[in-house]
Structure formats: C-alpha cells, structure tokens
Chain A
Amino acid sequence: MKILVADDEPDVRQALQFLFQKHGHEVILASHGDVALALVVAERPDVVFLDVNMPGKNGLDLCVELRTHPLYQPLPIYIVTGLDRSVYADHAGTSCATACLTKPLKSRYLLNLLARTSESL
C-alpha cells in the first residue's frame, strides 16, 4: 500500500518510514499540514496518518477538508494525537476520521491496523 505519514517530528517520520517500508509498503512523508494536503492530491495514497499538531493545517482540519471531496471520503485517515481524544471530541475532524489514535503508538499495533485496513480496501 502507499502510505502518507504527516508528522512534524523527524524521528517519528523516520521510524514509520522504516517500519512500513520494511513490511513492503511505499511511504510518502510530510512535515507540514499544507504539504500533506498537496501530497494527498498528487500521490493518491491508500492510507493516511495525520498528526494533529503540525505547522500549517493541523491534522483535524486537514481531515475535515479531505472529507469534503467525494474522492477522499472512503480514504482511511488516521488522526494521531498526543492528547486525550476527549479534548478534540467536539471537532468535526474527530468524527470524520477513520479512527483517532493516541500516542504513544507501538509498531505491532500499527502493523495490525494496516493489515485490517488493507483487508477492508
């Protein structure tokens, strides 16, 4: 699968790139919300991981914007946050994302998530 990872932490981007590539996936990286949006349009990934707190558009707003386009409505979008999800409970992005994941994430969990995602594609 082609996976877009948007996170402003370089170590996190590198870790996820290493992990996903090791398991046979193609990885596209973004460190900035606006760049992530452009890459979704240009690269058409199969799965998207969006960190909430990023420079530019934050992950939640980005999710809401993507969902306004019919093309991206079925796209699996995972929002990753360091805060309890109840903090963002009222934000539309929380309800339109495929799921909200709370940091810290473990590699096995992410790989299982990808496996389930690919089954449903």
Chain B
Amino acid sequence: MDRVLVLLHHPGNRRLLSEWLGQYYDVQVPETEQNLDAPCDLVIVDGMAVERYGQAVQAKKHRDAPAFLPCLLLAPRQQAARVKRHLGKTADELLWTPIDKDELQTRVTILLRGRQQSLELKRHNDELEALLDARQAVERMKDEFISIASHELRSPLNAIHLYLSMLLDEDAGKLTADQKRFLRVIEDHADRLTHLANDVLDISRMASGRLQLNIEPVDLREVIEQACMELQILGNSKRIQTRVTLPSLPVAVQADAHRLMQILTNLLSNAYKYASEDTVVTVQVSRHDQVAQIEVIDQGMGIAEADQSQLFTMFFRAEAVRNSNVRGAGLGLYITRMLLEMQNGQIGVTSCPGKGTTFSCKLPLAVAQPSDVTTPPVVVPPGESGKSGPRSTREDAV
C-alpha cells in the first residue's frame, strides 16, 4: 500500500485528508519532526509546512533519488506569490485550496503512478549495473585465466624442447634414422604448441591492455635482413629465392623493434608457407610522405576476394588454405594487424588467386632518420631453428 506523509499545519485539515485518503493509502501524520524520516511514497504539504519542513522534504527527495518522491503542495490562491517559489524545489504539484476531493484523488493517483514508474526504472537500472559488474568480473577472470594458462603452458614446453633438442643433437646417444624422424615430428608439434601459447598470450595481453610496447626509431634494413636470414630455411625445400629491395637511403620507422620482428616473421613465414615451388618471395620498402611501406610479396596460391576482408580477424583461415595441408590456427594475421595498429600503422592485402599475394604494412617514419639512428640489439628468439646468425650489434646507419 502506498504511504502518504501528510504535513499540514491545521489539525482539522490533517484529519480531513487522513479521512479522504485513509481508505486507499497508508496515511502517516507525524507527531514530531523525527517521524519525517519514515519512508513514504508521497508527501503532502501546505503553505506553512513547506516553509517549515521544506529542507527536510528536499533531503528526503534527495535520499530517494534517482527514484522520484513526489510532493503535493496545497495552498490558497491568495498565497500564490509566496508558495510558487517552492514549485520545482520542494513541491512537484500545486493544488489550490479549498480542494475538491475528486481532484485531490486524481492528483494523488497520478503522482503515485509517477513514483511507481520511477521505482521500476530504478530496479531495472540496479539489475543492469549488477549484470555489468558481473560481466566485468567474468571478463577479468577470463583474461587472468588465459594469461595464467598460457604462461603455465610454457614451463612444460620448456622441458619438452630441452630434452627433445638434446635427443635430436644426439647428446644422449646415436639415433637411428627412424628415431630422428619421429623425434622431429614431436618437435614440430611442440613448436606448434609453443607458437599457439605465445599467440594466445599476446592476444590476451592485447585484450586486457597489458601489452607494452617500446616505441623508438628502428632501422628497417637490419630488421628485414635478420628476418629473411632466419626464415629463409622455410623456403629451402621449395627452392624459393628471397629478394630484398630497399631504398638507397636508410629508412627508420617509429616502432617496437621486437614486435616489428614478430610482424615480419609472421608475414615472411606465411609467404614461404604458401609460395609455389621455384618462385621468389620479395620484401620491398618504400617511403611516402611521413610513412614507410613494407611489402611482402609471394607468388603462391593467392587469396580469394571474398576471404580478403576477413583475413585479419581472429581464427580466420581462407578456404583454400583450410583445404591445403598447411597448418595454422589463424591467429598470426590478427596479431600482426593489432600490433601494427598499436604502433600507429596499418596492414592491407592485395591478391590474385593462383598468382600471388602482397601484404603491405605502413608505419610512421621516425623523426630521426639516417645518421641519427642506432638500432637496439635484437636477441634471436629461442624456439626458432636455433641456428646462430651474426649477432645484431648497434651500428650507425650511414
């Protein structure tokens, strides 16, 4: 039952209103000011009460917010000038006295309806907020879980790789040809697991905003040459040649060296994976305004136009690739795109099925160009073929 708080100066008026409204509502007529705190759904005041209890009523309304606590002011027309200033502050509705019982009833009904609707709205809001909190908690748990799981995966993978590589190097004794072959298969799968764990970890970090980049000027020649040197082995069985075309003047981009290496590794390994036998994989760098463009071009199976728009989404693998025997989880290009975008760059693709594909990456040029650039040392990431190459050293680009 709705509760109506009646604050009228004259006892006679108080009695009358209690009588009229008491049949339908729980009418409260406080004896003292303390009783003003009792919860209610409507406050009825007159000209004197509004002066005396105005602040208290406003405080009650404030406490109920965002729910609406209506206040009805009863006053004679002669007091219009004095009472009108309370409208909108303490009172929401004004009824001139002497009041008509039916009119009072109508106004009370309408005001209480407004109150109920606002309470309903508040309930919905509270539910939504609770759901939102719960959802955010689940998101955080999910991110934590992925992060912990992929981290925990690395420990057993570490032991697996160590023992496998020692076996394959025959540190524990000579192997038969079959034993070597079987162990290589195991190592291949362990590598796949490792890449997957790394990719998942990267994605979870990106999603939770915890992927940190160390952006600085990076000399493209050095990074590209290192990537090509390390990955060339992937193209050897298909007799693929690698060509690198760089402008005569050195080009430095504003990027994270480690992540740029990761991007090039991903694009180059795809190029070698999907290139046709006896073809050429080209890496081409050019400058346009304040942007450097790196293109990785292969002459392989190509990508259907319908697939091109989804290429950089998570887990997407083009149909031709799914039908081939090339393995992959479909995370590499998604991560590549995210990494480029995080470095204020972008990636695009052009392709002709049956002819080949060009991936082009754009990155902002470093403010400091040519002779100012020193490239930070890039440690060869373990987990690759492990062959030793020339160690990257700091050198001044000339």
Contact = CB atoms under 8 A, between A and B. Distances in A.
Interface of A: 9, 11-12, 15-16, 18-19, 22, 82-87, 89, 99-109, 112, 116
Residue in A87, A89, A103 with the greatest tally of chain B CB atoms within 10 Å: A103
B201 interface: yes
Contact of A12 (B162, B210, B381, B388): B162
Interface string B184-198: 000000100010000
Contact of B382 (A84, A87, A101): A101
Interface stretch (B12-20, B211-219, B278-286): B211-219
A101 B383 CA distance: 11
B157 A103 contact: yes
B386 interface: yes
B242 interface: no
B169 A104 contact: no
B213 A104 contact: no
B391 A116 contact: yes
Contact of B159 (A15, A18, A102, A109): A15
B123 interface: no
25 contacts: A9-B158, A12-B159, A12-B162, A16-B162, A18-B166, A18-B171, A19-B162, A19-B166, A82-B154, A82-B158, A84-B201, A84-B202, A85-B258, A86-B211, A86-B212, A102-B381, A103-B155, A104-B194, A104-B382, A105-B382, A106-B162, A106-B383, A107-B165, A108-B387, A112-B386
Contacts of B169: 107-108
A79 B15 CA distance: 85
A116 B381 CA distance: 16
A115 to B, nearest CB: 8
B160 interface: yes
Given A16-B162, A106-B382, A108-B165, A89 B214 contact: yes
A86 B166 contact: no
B161 interface: yes
A87 B208 CA distance: 13
B161 A105 contact: yes
Contacts of B379: 99-101
Contacts of A15: 159, 162-163, 166
Contacts of B382: 101-106, 109
Contacts of B160: 104
Contacts of A103: 154-155, 157-158, 382
Contacts of A85: 258
Contacts of B210: 87
Given A103-B157, A108-B386, 20 more contacts: A9-B155, A11-B159, A12-B159, A15-B162, A18-B171, A18-B172, A19-B162, A82-B154, A83-B151, A86-B258, A89-B214, A103-B382, A104-B161, A106-B162, A107-B169, A108-B165, A108-B387, A109-B382, A112-B386, A116-B388
B86 interface: no
